[in-house]
């Protein structure tokens, strides 16, 4: 695993829906916390997964501690808008007179990209803010939305700089965009599965990150890769045994299927490596009937050790 990923102030984790990016985001934050960093995981207007994965209650709109040195929050438009309004207007009474006005609220809802801007602004504010001369957070991990929605969210500051006139929105869009494209501040990690469609989408997303967003990329993490347990010379005997009665036959068929799946996964990992010029970390498929803190701990350990040993 390219541990320099964890040396940035902001780490964005994204990929196709269903590839396990929330688990990977939680594992990366846990690894940072193990290393003595104070880490915050931001989910974006989501049904929270990270805190429950860590065995903690959902955080909601307020930042809450999940584990020692590890905190979570769900960044949602209404709460982010309120925080943005108070930061801009400074006073509660003025905020309530302006932002709680029914006509103003309706206007704000129809302003293009404003919800994305204030959510992204909340995240970037947490990543850059300092208290008493030191960072509030050593690392902010963003469990970003899936592919297309992530691009829309991360594209917001640049899009507003192209369209809005000078004023507060343009000013805020400018500093947000500067942080997003700063390689010393931000890094983006792509997560995929060793399957054709997720790898296709990861390749397309990588092209958009490089060409459209300009956000520095840090790593590709291929999640849930089955371990190849059988050599090529062992597969023919497995096929021969597949017709035997139980229990030998079913066991041989299951083993042959596992070997086939591992072979197919290996081809997809190789295809991802060839298409995406990033350090690649292969994370093992974990055999577990449940998915929670123990599995996240195991993922974090695997990431910290550079991925599955058999995949190196």
Model confidence band, residue 209 (pLDDT cutoffs 50, 70, 90) = very high
Distances (CA, A) of 37 to 115, 126, 219: 30, 15, 20
Does residue 260 have a pLDDT over 60?
Answer: yes
Q: Which of 172-176, 213-217, 232-236, 239-243 has the highest mean pLDDT?
A: 213-217
Per-residue pLDDT at 91: 44
On whether the CB atoms of residues 292 and 267 are closer than 8 A, the answer is no
Per-residue pLDDT at 145: 95
Q: Lowest mean pLDDT: which of 67-76, 213-222, 225-234? A: 225-234
Closest CA to 296 of 32, 44, 61: 32
Give the rounded percent of residues in the chain with a pLDDT score beyond 70: 90
pTM reported for the whole predicted model: 0.89
Does residue 9 have a pLDDT over 80?
Answer: yes
Per-residue pLDDT at 4: 83
pLDDT in tens, 100-155: 556 445 545 545 577 888 899 999 999 999 988 899 999 999 999 999 999 999 99
Model confidence band, residue 249 (pLDDT cutoffs 50, 70, 90) = confident
Strand order in the sheet with 139-143: 64-67, 70-75, 39-44, 139-143, 10-15, 186-192, 217-225, 280-284
Per-residue pLDDT at 88: 54
Per-residue pLDDT at 104: 46
Torsion of CA 201, 221, 62, 178, to 10 degrees: -70
d(CA 265, CA 224): 9
pLDDT in tens, 62-111: 999 999 999 999 999 888 877 766 565 454 554 454 455 564 455 455 45
On whether the CB atoms of residues 217 and 206 are closer than 8 A, the answer is yes
For domain 3-228+280-311, the CATH class is: alpha beta
Distances (CA, A) of 127 to 59, 137, 139, 152: 18, 6, 7, 20
pLDDT in tens, 177-195: 999 999 999 999 999 999 9
Give domain limits for the chain.
3-228+280-311
């Amino acid at each position: 695993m390219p541990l320099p990923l964890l040396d940035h102030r902001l780490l964005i984790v994204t990929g196709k829906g269903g590839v396990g990016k929330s688990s990977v985001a939680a594992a990366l934050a846990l690894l940072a916390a193990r290393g003595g960093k104070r880490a915050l995981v931001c989910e974006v207007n989501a049904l929270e997964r990270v805190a429950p994965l860590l065995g903690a209650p959902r955080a909601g709109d307020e930042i809450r501690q999940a584990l020692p040195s590890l905190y979570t929050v769900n960044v949602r438009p209404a709460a982010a808008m309120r925080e943005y309004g108070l930061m801009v207007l400074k006073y509660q009474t003025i905020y309530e007179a302006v932002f709680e006005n029914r006509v103003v609220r309706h206007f704000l809802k129809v302003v293009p990209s404003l919800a994305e801007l204030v959510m992204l602004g909340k995240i970037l504010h947490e990543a850059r803010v300092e208290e008493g001369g030191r960072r509030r957070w050593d690392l902010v991990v963003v469990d970003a939305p899936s592919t297309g929605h992530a691009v829309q969210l991360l594209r917001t500051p640049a899009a507003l700089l192209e369209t809005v006139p000078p004023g507060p929105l343009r000013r805020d869009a400018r500093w947000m965009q500067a942080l997003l494209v700063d390689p010393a501040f931000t890094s983006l990690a792509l997560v995929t599965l060793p399957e054709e469609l997720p790898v296709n989408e990861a390749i397309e997303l990588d092209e958009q990150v490089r060409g459209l967003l300009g956000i520095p990329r840090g790593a590709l993490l291929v999640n849930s890769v089955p371990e190849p347990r059988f050599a090529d010379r062992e597969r023919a005997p497995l096929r021969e045994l597949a017709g035997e009665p139980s229990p030998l036959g079913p066991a041989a068929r299951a083993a042959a299927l596992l070997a086939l799946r591992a072979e197919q996964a290996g081809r997809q990992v190789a295809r991802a490596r060839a298409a995406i010029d990033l350090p690649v970390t292969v994370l093992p498929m974990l055999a577990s009937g449940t998915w929670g803190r123990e599995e996240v701990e195991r993922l974090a350990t695997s990431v910290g050790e550079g991925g599955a040993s058999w995949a190196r």
